[in-house]
Amino acid sequence: MKINGNAIRPGMVIEHQGRLWRAIKIQHTQPGKGGAYLQVELRDLRSGTKLNDRFRSSETVERAQLEQKEYQYLYADGDMYTFMDNETYEQINLTAEMVGEEQVPYLQESMIVIVECHEDDPIGVQLPDHVTLEVSEADAVVKGQTASSSYKPALLENGIKTLVPPHIEAGTRIVINTADGSYVERAKD
């Protein structure tokens, strides 16, 4: 499916230069001279190499057609991660690069994820938007800070550091955004 160059969004997979690329970061730029363009950081899905390229709105790019299927995360064995198809009970193993190095810490047993395939070949994993994790360490609150805008550093059970509001203590379960690792809310469970 062809799309305009300015319609590329983070996470989108496109065919460019004969290979499959995932858009990591985008930045819309309007220089003083010339037309506006989209500066896109791309990562090759096969080799993991990165590329920065510019796309003008007049250009068209081919968006890759991906099959998406729900899988359940089972376990990790070294650098391999095992997922199971809930309909056929078939298991697949994916490397950390295929899952996404930044997404691996958020994997939890029995988590339902979406595995993306291109021509029956798994190329990536989409995690749920939010996960619930426990705070293992949280800094003490500094008296005198205004509660509305102050956040303090905290360490989560998966080893990720994030900023949380002052009322969050160690042992509290919180909801985290998997896209950027930011605090969303206190868990309701």
- Kindly state whether residues 147 and 168 are assigned to the same domain: yes
Q: What is the mean pLDDT of the chain?
A: 87
Burial of 103 (0-12, 13-18, 19+ CB in 10 A): middle
Mean per-residue pLDDT, 152-174: 90
- Same-domain pairing of 119 and 167: no
CATH code (residue 176): 2.40.50.140
Among 8-17, 79-88, 138-147, 161-170, the least confident range: 138-147
Residue 45 CB: number of other CB atoms within 10 A?
A: 19
SS3 (DSSP) at 96: helix
Q: Are residues 30 and 54 located together in one domain of the fold?
A: yes
pLDDT of 173 above 90: yes
pLDDT value at position 140? 80
Quote the domain boundaries for residue 171: 130-186
Average pLDDT, integer, range 72-90: 92
Give the alpha-carbon dihedral of 129, 135, 140, 141, to 10 degrees: 30
* Last residue within a domain, chosen from 101, 126, 151: 126
pLDDT band at 85 (very low <50, low <70, confident <90, very high): very high
pLDDT score at 189: 76
Q: Per-residue pLDDT averaged across 144-164, rounded?
A: 81
**What are the phi and psi torsion angles at 24 (to 5°)?**
-95, -55
Residues 38 and 12 in one domain: yes
Quote the number of domains for the chain: 3
Cα 76 to Cα 33: distance, rounded to the nearest angstrom: 51
pLDDT at 71: 95
Cβ contacts of residue 21 below 8 Å, gap of 6+? Answer: 13, 14, 15, 42, 43, 44, 45, 51
Contact 112, 128 (CB under 8 A): yes
Q: Which two tokens stand for residue 63?
A: 């968006």
Q: What CA–CA distance (Å, rounded) separates 41 from 49?
A: 11
